[in-house]
Structure 1
């Protein structure tokens, strides 16, 4: 077995999952805090939009990202102008796709976590002069930290397994954008079952360990 060929998609998948899960966690925590503490007209619609990537077919998500970040969109042209290169079919395209599909899991988990925080403790903090950022930093987030760990692990696992949207927006360029899910697809299509099994077992082991850690923390 070609070990360089074996490790390249795994390294890239882990790198993409690490970066995207950190960004998805930051965005998800902010969104969950905002939604759980605010009341406004259209709140249900906003929450529904947040959860859409969880139920939409990955190819639909990928197509929408392709339209938004493609060279024909102003966002795509702006990014290309700033970095002198398009985001489509790059390493960062895989990160963007993973952020979008991981966000709903992070958001929903953190929303439940913030809902479990005693509002009286937050109000007590405000009564002695604490601002909203201080209430979040010293009361709400520490009390919901267990949920944050679970949210991050779930986001990381979801990013690691992303396939459809990544294939649409990042492609399958070996050594550049080829992640483990896309590598498995190509290996099976080419009849290389040895590599397909090797990558599949690796993904199963990594995903199992991540879910095991999450399950233990939930019980705790």
Structure 2
């Protein structure tokens, strides 16, 4: 059994989760600060769109943006001397794009449900801007943020379509666990594919357990 897909997936998931954590919180905060309701609604739709698009469609758009002959892809090559397509960085970008909406929606819901009096009191104390975000909003909505983090992390771990489009399925370089399952099944190695599936199942099971333990505070009995 090749453990490279496990290592690549874990490395990709950790990096993608850190990026998604910051981007999800900042995006939710900035969108809610938009006063024009129509613009806020449009931005909300755009940021949520990767959640409902087929992963291969998201991968197509990423390939269109970061392709070696596209302006953004050329700019990155000129600045960093490294292309994006078919590299490990591409696995991170794909994972961030498909998992971001889960983090964004969870954080935004948490911010919207926060008692407005807390926000008003913080404003009276002179807090504003990012001080309000990191000292009031984030600590007060940590359960929602943790839920978004767990969901987006497991989504990043299981990403397949966008990764295959942008990063390819290169053994030892961009082959994640999901791609490894596909490759082994295609090659007829069902036992090895089963090992990879077991790893994904264990991680998914633990993630759901974390969500259930965190959310199981109700005393209601039916």
Q: Please indicate the TM-score interval, normalised by the length of the shorter structure.
A: over 0.9
Q: In 2, are the aligned partners of 1:29 and 1:107 still within 8 Å (CA)?
A: yes
Q: In 2, are the aligned partners of 1:150 and 1:218 still within 8 Å (CA)?
A: no
Are 2:130 and 1:109 equivalent residues in the alignment? Answer: no
Counterparts of 2:106 and 2:45 in 1: how far apart (Å)? 15
* Counterpart position of 1:22: 18
Map 1:1-220 → 2, pairs under 5 A: 2=1, 5=2, 7-40=3-36, 41-220=38-217
Please report how far the alpha carbon of residue 25 of structure 1 lies from its aligned counterpart in structure 2 after TM superposition: 1.3
Counterparts of 1:113 and 1:215 in 2: how far apart (Å)? 17
* Counterpart position of 2:220: none
Please report how far the alpha carbon of residue 37 of structure 1 lies from its aligned counterpart in structure 2 after TM superposition: 3.4
Counterparts of 1:44 and 1:129 in 2: how far apart (Å)? 29
Aligned residue pairs: how many? 216
Counterparts of 1:172 and 1:216 in 2: how far apart (Å)? 36
Unaligned runs of 5+ in 1: none
Please report how far the alpha carbon of residue 133 of structure 1 lies from its aligned counterpart in structure 2 after TM superposition: 1.9
1:88-137 residue CA offsets vs partner (Å, 9 max, x unmatched): 00000000000000011000000111112111111111112222222222
Please report how far the alpha carbon of residue 36 of structure 1 lies from its aligned counterpart in structure 2 after TM superposition: 2.5
Q: In 1, are the aligned partners of 2:32 and 2:40 still within 8 Å (CA)?
A: no
Counterparts of 2:119 and 2:34 in 1: how far apart (Å)? 14
Please report how far the alpha carbon of residue 57 of structure 1 lies from its aligned counterpart in structure 2 after TM superposition: 0.9
- Provide the TM-score with structure 1 as the length reference: 0.95
Q: In 2, are the aligned partners of 1:180 and 1:199 still within 8 Å (CA)?
A: yes
Counterparts of 1:215 and 1:96 in 2: how far apart (Å)? 29
Counterparts of 1:168 and 1:56 in 2: how far apart (Å)? 14
- Provide the TM-score with structure 2 as the length reference: 0.94
Q: In 1, are the aligned partners of 2:99 and 2:156 still within 8 Å (CA)?
A: yes
